[in-house]
Chain A
C-alpha cells in the first residue's frame, strides 16, 4: 500500500540549530514529492517540490530537501532555524488515484523553535 512516513512527530529546537525532518514513502512508480508547512491557524503552504532533475531542491524560507531514490526518502533540511519556523510540517506524495491524482500526506511533524 502507498504510504508516507514521517519519523519525528514532535521536534523541539533552539534558534540557530540545524533541522532535518525525515520522510520516507512507499510507492512503486514515478513520484512527485512535496513538503508543506502549516503555521498555527493557517492553511497549508508549499515549501518545496520535487518532480525530476536535481535531487537537491531548494524551497522558500531557506528550506531544502534531498530526494534519495534508493532510500525512498525526501528529507527536509534547514541549516539554522528561527522562532518563526514553529509550525507543522507535512511530507506528501502525489499518488495516482483512479483517473486522477491525490496528495498522500504523512502524519506531520510539529516543530517548536525556542528563543
Chain B
C-alpha cells in the first residue's frame, strides 16, 4: 500500500460526458501529480500541483483540468469525453515538489468510454 488513495477504481461512461477523479496523497506529501497510461502512449505526465498551486503541465488536453484543495487532495476533471480518453489515470504524490523525492503512486482509476 503506497498510501496514495484514488477513487473510483473503475469508471464507465459515454462519449461527451464529464467525470471527476479524486486523489488523496500520502500523509505529509505536499505535491500531487497526475499521469495517464494507455497502450499506445505509455505513461504520460499530465500535471503537477504543490501545496495548492499548479507547478508543471505536461500533455494535458484543454478538456482536462485539475486542482489541489487546501486539504491537499486533488481532483482531475475530464470533460467532453472521447473514446481515446479511455486509459488508466494514476495519481502520485511526493513530499516536496523539487524533484528530490521519489513519487509514490496510487492504484489508478480505470476509465472506459463507451
CA distance A45 to B90 in the complex (A): 12
- The yes or no answer to B64 lying at the interface (CB within 8 A) is no
- The yes or no answer to A99 lying at the interface (CB within 8 A) is yes
Q: How large is the interface on B (under 10, 10 to 19, 20 to 34, 35 or more residues)?
A: 20 to 34
- Interface hit among A14-22, A62-70, A75-83, A101-109: A101-109
**Total A-B residue contacts, Cβ distance less than 8 Å:** 66
Q: A98-B55, A100-B55, A102-B58 are in contact. Are A46 and B104 (CB under 8 A)?
A: yes
Q: Is the contact region of chain B dominated by helix, strand, or loop, or is it mixed?
A: strand
Residues of B within 8 A of A (CB): 2, 4, 31, 33, 35, 42-45, 48, 50, 55-58, 90, 92, 97-100, 102-108
CA distance A97 to B4 in the complex (A): 23
Residues of A within 8 A of B (CB): 32, 34, 36, 42-46, 49, 51, 90, 94, 96-108
